[in-house]
Amino acid sequence: MATEEQAVRETHEAWMAAVNAGDLARLMTMMADDAVLLNPGGPPLGKAAFPDKFTGGHERFVLRCASEPLEITVAGDLAYTVCRDTLHLVPRAGGDAIELAGHRLSVYRRGPDGRWLLARDAHTLTSV
């Protein structure tokens, strides 16, 4: 596997580990300042609005997200991944677990320091 593809894979894996750990501080360092996240049924979410959404989700649910990269492509300072994702949510207030599955397209941009930063993200997760 090419070195840059491996670096993007490692960035994606680190992102998912931080999501599952609820590590907001780590995630914020992994996002481009102009990052945009697209979620079904909701408006685009920028980096400034991400903390409230992320923290709210972790306050309401115990979650476990798995993401299997199906494709990783690097073109200069841009890269993208296409992944198959599953999301298991257990309400902290009690009740039935929620299972979501679908695909994710993430775009990464190489930052000035050479690290890959999440720039755009869109997913199709729906109830299983």
**pLDDT tens per residue, range 96-117:** 999 999 999 999 999 999 999 9
Residues 6+ apart with CB under 8 A from 112: none
Handedness of CA 125, 64, 48, 31 (dihedral sign): negative
What three-state secondary structure class fits 49? coil
- What's the token pair of residue 53? 């959404």
Phi, psi angle pair for 42, to nearest 5°: -125, 165
Give the residue ranges of DSSP H helices in 40-87. 50-60
Instruction: Spell out the domain ranges in the chain.
Output: 3-127
pLDDT band, residue 81 (cuts 50/70/90): very high
Give pTM, 2 decimals: 0.94
List beta partners, residue 75: 78
Which of 2.60.220.30, 3.10.450.50, 3.40.50.300, 3.30.950.10 is the CATH number of 3-127? Answer: 3.10.450.50
